[in-house]
Amino acid sequence: MNNRIANNRIAVVGAGAWGTALAIQAVRAGRDVVLWARDPARAAMIAENRQNPRLPGIALPEAIEVTSLLPDDAAAILLVVPTQHLREIAARLPRGPAPLLVCAKGVEVGTTRLPLEILAELHPGRPAAVLSGPNFAAEIARGLPAAAVIAAADADLREHLAALLATPQFRLYGNDDPVGAQVGGAAKNVIAIAAGAVIGAGLGENARAALITRGLAELSRLIVALGGKAETATGLSGLGDLLLTCTGPSSRNYSLGHALGRGETLAAILAGRSTVTEGVTTAPALIARASGVEMPVCAAVAAVVAGRITVTQAMTALLARPRRDE
């Protein structure tokens, strides 16, 4: 990786709140950054105003170039687009040596592939890793303390990417279990919908704590079933991300679940949003990928978003499960 560190340019593909926050973080780490937005008009607006409406009140440093042209030269390319659009965007990337860092969480609908599996199919042999952890975009953009993991089997790749992005306020840990990190990032969004529904329905903090704990057990079972390590479930990309997403009011998945618990319809909730709530599409894809793995909380969420059962019916079914040892 050392031959690429000389290139000080980071490309961030995806100009949503998270992509913009990571672009700002890369500048803090001393990098020049090109930030890609799909829509030329939106790219021009962000470039002119030096601000992204998704992160109000936060100015873009001058070291960030905003463009609608996909970059072809960088020390690393950060893919910060929703998982359901990752295949389309990754297929358009120019071939080259720059490693790819996935900064999206989810499971692809239809194929049930994890993000790194999509990249391996489209860019075989190209170095790729995943960034995951308990991070809200606005806090990263403001420079508040945070931590995350860069997961890849290749230790040199992990170190290379961490050197490009880490600062004392944004602590990056290496992780050699990319499967576990990806499963944690996907499952936590689904479990967060359930946690929000519990509070929205007025079932209380005890119920939410129990659900989060049982959700963590589901997450761990799936990680192991897919070839990952059980201990990853208790790290930043597992328990850390799960706690933030299931308790933070800024979480899109938690707030969607909260609205469902109050009795709002999924269609009405989504119609009022301009951003993607990954857990909605991830839930059925995760359950399809988890064939044979016991995941009652995630299965209940998948059934609710599919319209097969109501939140009340889902809660009743979960509470009626047979007693067993933990």
Neighbouring residues of 85: CB distance < 8 A, sequence distance ≥ 6 = none
The model's pLDDT over 187-242, given as tens digits with 9 standing for 90+, comes to 999 999 999 999 999 999 999 999 999 999 999 999 999 999 999 999 999 999 99
Q: What pLDDT is attached to residue 223? A: 98
Question: How many whole angstroms separate alpha carbon 268 and alpha carbon 171?
Answer: 38
The model's pLDDT over 6-27, given as tens digits with 9 standing for 90+, comes to 479 999 999 999 999 999 999 9
The model's pLDDT over 79-119, given as tens digits with 9 standing for 90+, comes to 999 999 999 999 999 888 999 999 999 999 999 999 999 99
The arrangement of strands across the sheet holding 32-36 comes to 64-67, 32-36, 9-13, 76-79, 100-102, 128-132, 146-151, 170-175
DSSP-assigned states of every residue in 165-221: H-BTTEEEEEES-HHHHHHHHHHHHHHHHHHHHHHHTT--HHHHHHHHHHHHHHHHH
Q: What pLDDT is attached to residue 275? A: 85
Give the rounded distance of the alpha carbon of 24 from its chain centre: 18
DSSP-assigned states of every residue in 219-253: HHHHHHHTT--GGGGGSIIIIIHHHHHHH-TT-HH
Q: Is the pLDDT of residue 320 over 90?
A: no
Q: Which contiguous run of DSSP H or E holds residue 9?
A: strand 9-13
Q: What percent of the chain has pLDDT over 90?
A: 90
Q: What's the average model confidence in pLDDT over 166-194? A: 97
Q: What is the mean pLDDT of the chain?
A: 94
For residue 38, give the 3-state DSSP assignment: coil
**Which residue shows structure tokens 């995941």?**
295
Q: What pLDDT is attached to residue 3? A: 41
Question: How many whole angstroms separate alpha carbon 93 and alpha carbon 69?
Answer: 10
Q: Is the pLDDT of residue 1 over 60?
A: no
Domains and CATH numbers, the chain: 2-176 (3.40.50.720), 179-319 (1.10.1040.10)
Residue 72 pLDDT level (bands cut at 50, 70, 90): confident
Catalytic entry in 188, 208, 214, 252: 188
Q: What pLDDT is attached to residue 5? A: 44
Q: What pLDDT is attached to residue 42? A: 96
- Please confirm, yes or no, whether 188 is among the known catalytic residues: yes
**Which residue shows structure tokens 């990417």?**
161
Give the rounded distance of the alpha carbon of 11 from its chain centre: 18
